[in-house]
């Protein structure tokens, strides 16, 4: 547990020194928000569904950029072998990497969301706490699935293009649910209406975290 904490701190410190992942995530997120503006007819008010869709495309595509870099630092100087020789278990490594990814996504969203409300209207700003909860659940699911597949693509040859292709089909239900709940929040619906969705999202996050812990040992050792 303590060593996992050390890995988290190491990654955060490295990111602070040269914020490569953060910069690419934020830049790409902003860029997408601007590009997706073409989906909105000029002068028209954005429908809640469209707004939610735009927000989640920006959020997920930015997240993938961060996920793809999960094991970059470890691969560069054969650090992964070193980490495996240390008393750190692969499960702890998975937990640490997942936490780091979750933190990165959270930070990038803190910056992306205000831009979204500025560009697409603050009429959507209804229940910030519930929106944060949706983002948290989605981030947990994304980072669990993403870290598992980042471990897999780290061992493959063409790993940049590979991760999104493996990642998106699997998280499609999570994205769909997130968009749905977000559009309901944007439309001003109460928590009672989307409670069951949040439960399924939580179940997704839980299941994939479990699968991640179960399989990382095998993946990293091979």
Q: Which residues bind other proteins (CB under 8 A)?
A: 148, 152-153, 155-159, 162, 165-166, 168-170, 172-174, 176-177, 180, 196-197, 200, 203-204, 207-208, 211, 215, 218-219, 222
Residues 6 or more apart in contact with residue 71 via CB below 8 angstroms: 80, 97, 150, 151, 154
Residue closer to other proteins by CB (options 31, 176) is 176
**Closest approach of Cβ 148 to other proteins, in Å?**
7
We find the least distance from the C-beta atom of residue 31 to other proteins, in angstroms, to be 26
- Our CB check for other proteins shows the closer of 63 and 184 to be 184
Least Cβ distance, residue 41 to other proteins (angstroms): 23
Task: Provide, rounded to whole angstroms, the least separation between the CB of residue 177 and other proteins.
Answer: 5
89: left (phi over 0), alpha (psi -120 to 50) or beta: beta
Distances (CA, A) of 6 to 39, 45, 61, 93, 184: 44, 48, 28, 10, 40
DSSP-derived 3-state class of residue 127: coil
Give 2 or 221: the residue with its C-beta nearer to other proteins: 221
The DSSP-derived string for 142-203 is HHHHHHHHHHHHHTSSSHHHHHHHHHHHHHHHHHHHHHHHHHHHHTT--HHHHHHHHHHHHH
- Residues 6 or more apart whose CB falls under 8 angstroms from that of 186 comprise 48, 51, 52, 124, 126
Query: Given the complex with other proteins, which of 105 and 152 has the nearer CB atom?
Result: 152
Q: Give the closest residue to 104 by CA, choosing from 164, 146, 149, 155.
A: 146
Smaller CB separation from other proteins, 117 or 197: 197
Shortest distance, position 26 Cβ to other proteins, whole Å: 28
> Least Å distance between CB 203 and other proteins?
7
Q: Are the C-beta atoms of residues 7 and 103 closer than 8 Å to each other?
A: no
Closer of 25 and 178 to other proteins (Cβ):
178
Q: How far is the CB of 207 from other proteins (least distance, A)?
A: 6
With respect to other proteins, which residue has the nearer C-beta, 26 or 64? 64
């Amino acid at each position: 547990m303590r060593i996992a904490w050390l890995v988290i701190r190491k990654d955060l410190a490295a990111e602070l020194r040269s914020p490569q992942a953060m910069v690419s995530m934020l830049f790409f997120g902003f860029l997408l928000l601007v590009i997706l503006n073409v989906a909105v007819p000029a002068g028209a008010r954005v429908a809640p569904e469209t707004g939610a869709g735009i927000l989640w495309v920006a959020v997920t595509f930015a997240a993938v950029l961060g996920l793809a870099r999960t094991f970059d630092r470890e691969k560069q100087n054969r650090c992964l072998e070193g980490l495996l020789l240390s008393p750190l278990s692969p499960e702890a490594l998975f937990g640490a990497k997942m936490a780091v990814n979750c933190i990165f996504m959270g930070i990038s969203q803190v910056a992306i969301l205000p831009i979204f409300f500025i560009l697409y209207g603050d009429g959507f700003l209804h229940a910030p706490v519930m929106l944060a909860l949706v983002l948290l659940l989605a981030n947990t699911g994304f980072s669990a699935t993403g870290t598992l597949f980042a471990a897999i693509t780290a061992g493959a040859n063409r790993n940049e293009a590979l991760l999104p292709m493996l990642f998106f089909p699997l998280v499609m239900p999570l994205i769909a649910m997130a968009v749905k709940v977000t559009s309901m929040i944007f439309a001003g619906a109460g928590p009672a209406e989307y409670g069951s969705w949040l439960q399924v999202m939580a179940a997704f996050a839980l299941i994939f975290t479990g699968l991640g812990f179960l399989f990382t040992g095998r993946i990293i050792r091979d």
